Structure 1
């Protein structure tokens, strides 16, 4: 039995340990995509030693782009230094790029965190905070063309590691990113046990989910109806806050 696996089993039986907590900090803002946040949060909170902090500018409920709110657990001012910082994306990212308290918080946390991470378009907030310069990175497929605007080099992958910076692609990629981090820190057995715990065994009813695996007419329709305009909005926001 590996040491990491033994620690994991011991923690499940006896949560009180002498090990210092591993602080996982999520920086949230109005109109985040809740699954960008809740997907990895659900998995990372089961990682041995993890203590999750949901940080926002204030303790007021933060509206998601699904129409319901999430209540932060701590303010930016009171949040401890994270061992792992994660920034989710969402429809609110273009506006959030101009939110000085958020960008300053991400910059401060990112400067000292062991791991600096994002899900989906949260990559652009990392980039605006100066944390993606010269880094290989990914984001939601609809916005990959904008990554060079924050100094990043696009790499087509679901999860991209570059040093201590980890970026995940669109939305559900956040779960894969979380499992990859857990395996990196605690071994594959621990990651597999958490994967089994949540019965994460993706078997979608349709092939697709990426431009390369989806029918071309659907890709074209999604670009024309949604992502051409949203990418232009993101580019304008990035240029305005450069």
Structure 2
């Protein structure tokens, strides 16, 4: 199974690495890291990833994984080449997936009708006539979207289950010891925390 991980400047590293680690546990998976060029790509927090293929090199893939970015407004504004590639490769895929604000790129490409994303970017989906879900993982036909950042691990585990069965997914989950126990409750976000984050995202997404 060939998986194309999409790279672009300012992607969020965990959006990429989380699914890669999960899906890489399945022996039949072959990963490609696809970008506009073979130049190294720097994430929004500074991690550098080297592409293995260009968009021109990859005409088809079994699975496409599109990470998000903390700079999603800027990414959307500069996404024409990436969006065109997604539109071209999507008909060949068995699964087209995204993590976090990567779903806004799928929406920009017109590939999804219902999706989840990072809570701060839901308006971007609504503006593109996509039904917004607050679920952690959403299946919309062969399009699978994960919510913010860490949800990429959940998305990939759900994908492994859909493709290889429950036992394989459980084996991978136990193998990576994925058992989230966050120190703070997530169900109720303090207003001050949300306001601070929205201000940070607004500044970073325009930079």
- With structure 1 as the length reference, what TM-score do the two structures score? 0.79
Name the SS for the 2:98 alignment partner: strand
For 1:110 and 1:81, locate their aligned partners in 2 and report how far apart those are by CA, in whole Å: 8
For 2:82 and 2:72, locate their aligned partners in 1 and report how far apart those are by CA, in whole Å: 11
CA shift for structure 1 position 101: 2.2
**1:36 pairs with 8, 15, 30, which one?**
15
Residue of structure 2 in register with 1:72 after alignment: 51
For 1:80 and 1:118, locate their aligned partners in 2 and report how far apart those are by CA, in whole Å: 19
For 1:79 and 1:95, locate their aligned partners in 2 and report how far apart those are by CA, in whole Å: 25
Cα deviation digits, residues 3-58 of structure 1 (max 9, x gap): xxxxxxxxxxxxxxxxxxx1111111000000000100111112241111110011
Residue of structure 1 in register with 2:193 after alignment: 218
* Greater Cα radius of gyration, structure 1 or 2: 1
Cα deviation digits, residues 164-202 of structure 1 (max 9, x gap): 111110000000000000011111110111111111111
Cα deviation digits, residues 64-85 of structure 1 (max 9, x gap): 0111311111111112511111
Greater than 6 Å deviation, 4+ residue runs: none
Structure 1 gap ranges (5+): 1-21, 234-242
Q: What does 1:155-166 correspond to in 2, within 5 Å? A: 155-166=133-144
Could you tell me whether the CA contact under 8 Å between 2:41 and 2:51 is conserved in 1? yes
Q: What does 1:1-242 correspond to in 2, within 5 Å? A: 22-97=1-76, 98-132=78-112, 135-208=113-186, 212-223=187-198, 225-227=199-201
Could you tell me whether the CA contact under 8 Å between 2:71 and 2:201 is conserved in 1? no
CA shift for structure 1 position 99: 3.3
CA RMSD of aligned residues (A): 1.9
For 1:230 and 1:151, locate their aligned partners in 2 and report how far apart those are by CA, in whole Å: 25
Q: 1:182 to 1:213 in 2, by over 3 A?
A: same
Could you tell me whether the CA contact under 8 Å between 1:29 and 1:92 is conserved in 2? no
For 1:91 and 1:30, locate their aligned partners in 2 and report how far apart those are by CA, in whole Å: 11
CA shift for structure 1 position 100: 2.7
Structure 2 gap ranges (5+): none
For 2:65 and 2:161, locate their aligned partners in 1 and report how far apart those are by CA, in whole Å: 17
Could you tell me whether the CA contact under 8 Å between 1:27 and 1:106 is conserved in 2? no
Q: 1:159 to 1:29 in 2, by over 3 A?
A: same
For 2:27 and 2:159, locate their aligned partners in 1 and report how far apart those are by CA, in whole Å: 12
